[in-house]
Amino acid sequence: MTPTEYEYLRKFLKENSGLDLSADKQYLIESRLLPLARKAGLAGIGELVQKLQGGARTVITDVVEAMTTNETFFFRDKVPFDHFRDTIMPEIIKARAARRSIRIWCAAGSTGQEPYSLAMCLKEMSAALTGWRIEIIATDLSQEVLEKAKAGIYSQFEVQRGLPIQMLMKYFKQTGETWQVNPELRAMIQHRQLNLLHDFAQLGTFDVIFCRNVLIYFDQDTKINIFNRLARQIEPDGFLVLGAAETVVGLTDTFRPIPERRGLYKPNDPRAAAPKPALAGAAPRLAAMAGR
Ligand SMILES: C[S@@+](CC[C@H](N)C(=O)[O-])C[C@H]1O[C@@H](n2cnc3c(N)ncnc32)[C@H](O)[C@@H]1O
């Protein structure tokens, strides 16, 4: 791969998926894109770049998808799911007692282990949620991972990663070498393709947003832009849950961390934001106008 081809791919990925590759990640591109080029009958990365430049739609999608990292597992990091059960849900159940409905968005849900973990948590607290309307929307950029998430079929290895055996027995059915999530749990989740770089206002507002282990791949400006737009999709008393290596601190004041609840954030009331210097300067004039 020539330096020009590498620069083209870096820019292309940044624009199409947000992936921010440093100058020394040629090996990553090669290990992911060479097999793709070969499968498409192309001589190498150079020809793949030419296809991209020619605007070949399927190649664009394939390159973007091949460069995503889809690593995930059931109840990943455990703590966020403990917080979901012990902090988030009790608060939301209380606050929504009148309307009895909850909306949860699992942004970048990959192959489904994260949204299904949330669905299992909710099932485990079903006594407190009888008669409630619960919506879980799981989105991801990659169509390929969404297909797997929808099917809810996992290998023995995948169900051994993070999933307690009682949950496996209760919510999955074994078919040969694989395990499938039961229909009731599958029906709790709507899977949709969505690129976080694009507008997501159409999804509506949520009580809880899980957006974990995706923003780490983006640069600061992209993270800030996404945080600011997530803030518009979350109820004022809702919760944002980030991955262990992610934070809003130092990037935006649209969210604040919840002390002693690692990974949990609350939206800040935009009206409570510190006055901008221009507004502060206007205060004496306003006071004068008001006769003070
Ligand atoms: C490492 S996985 C994290 C999965 C899950 N949230 C977890 O923490 O286990 C990152 C996911 O983000 C998705 N992704 C990458 N860029 C994206 C984008 N611009 N918009 C939406 N999803 C994206 C990838 O396809 C991948 O499935």
Ligand 1 neighbourhood includes 117 CB (under 6 angstroms): no
Say if residue 43 is in the same domain as residue 103.
no
Domain end, chosen from 35, 66, 97, is at 66
Domain end, chosen from 45, 66, 87, is at 66
Residue burial 5-28, b: 16+ Cβ < 10 Å; e: rest: bbebbbebbbebbbbbbeeebbee
Per DSSP, what are the bridge partners of residue 101? 133
Residue 83: pLDDT over 50: yes
Say if residue 11 is in the same domain as residue 106.
no
Say if residue 10 is in the same domain as residue 147.
no
* CATH value at residue 19: 1.10.155
How high is the pLDDT of residue 269? 81
Q: Ligand 1 centroid to 164 CA: how many Å? A: 24
Ligand 1 neighbourhood includes 18 CB (under 6 angstroms): yes
Say if residue 184 is in the same domain as residue 251.
yes
Ligand 1 neighbourhood includes 225 CB (under 6 angstroms): no
Residue 8 within a domain: yes
Which sign, positive or negative, has the C-alpha torsion 67, 68, 70, 71? positive
Each residue's pLDDT tens digit, 151-202: 999 999 999 999 999 999 999 999 999 999 999 999 999 999 999 999 999 9
Say if residue 50 is in the same domain as residue 104.
no
Q: Ligand 1 centroid to 71 CA: how many Å? A: 8
Mean pLDDT check: name the lowest of 68-82, 225-239, 271-285.
271-285
Helices (H), the chain: 3-17, 26-39, 45-53, 57-66, 79-83, 89-95, 113-124, 143-151, 156-159, 165-171, 183-186, 220-232, 277-289
Structural domain span for residue 38: 3-66
Say if residue 140 is in the same domain as residue 95.
yes
The residue whose two tokens read 């791949």 is 217
Atom 12 in ligand 1: residue holding the nearest Cα:
108
Say if residue 62 is in the same domain as residue 116.
no
Say if residue 59 is in the same domain as residue 83.
no
Residue 272 within a domain: no
Give the pLDDT mean for 114-127. 97
Residue 15 within a domain: yes
**C-alpha–C-alpha distance, residues 69 and 182, integer Å:** 27
- Mean pLDDT across the chain, nearest whole number? 92
Residue 290 within a domain: no
Say if residue 118 is in the same domain as residue 245.
yes
Ligand 1 neighbourhood includes 118 CB (under 6 angstroms): no
Q: What is the residue type of 231? A: A
Strands 133-140 and 153-155: unpaired
* CATH value at residue 83: 3.40.50.150
Give the pLDDT mean for 278-285. 44
Say if residue 163 is in the same domain as residue 42.
no
> Tokens representing 259?
């002390």
Q: Give the total number of structural domains in the chain.
A: 2
DSSP symbols for 127-149: GGGTT-EEEEEEEES-HHHHHHH
Residue 284: pLDDT over 70: no
Say if residue 84 is in the same domain as residue 38.
no
CB 211 within 8 A of CB 242: yes
Mean pLDDT check: name the lowest of 24-28, 131-135, 264-268, 269-273.
269-273
**C-alpha–C-alpha distance, residues 52 and 135, integer Å:** 38
281-to-38, 183, 287 alpha-carbon distances in Å: 63, 60, 11
> Tokens representing 219?
């640069």
Mean pLDDT check: name the lowest of 58-62, 212-216, 276-280.
276-280
Say if residue 230 is in the same domain as residue 137.
yes
Residue 73: pLDDT over 60: yes
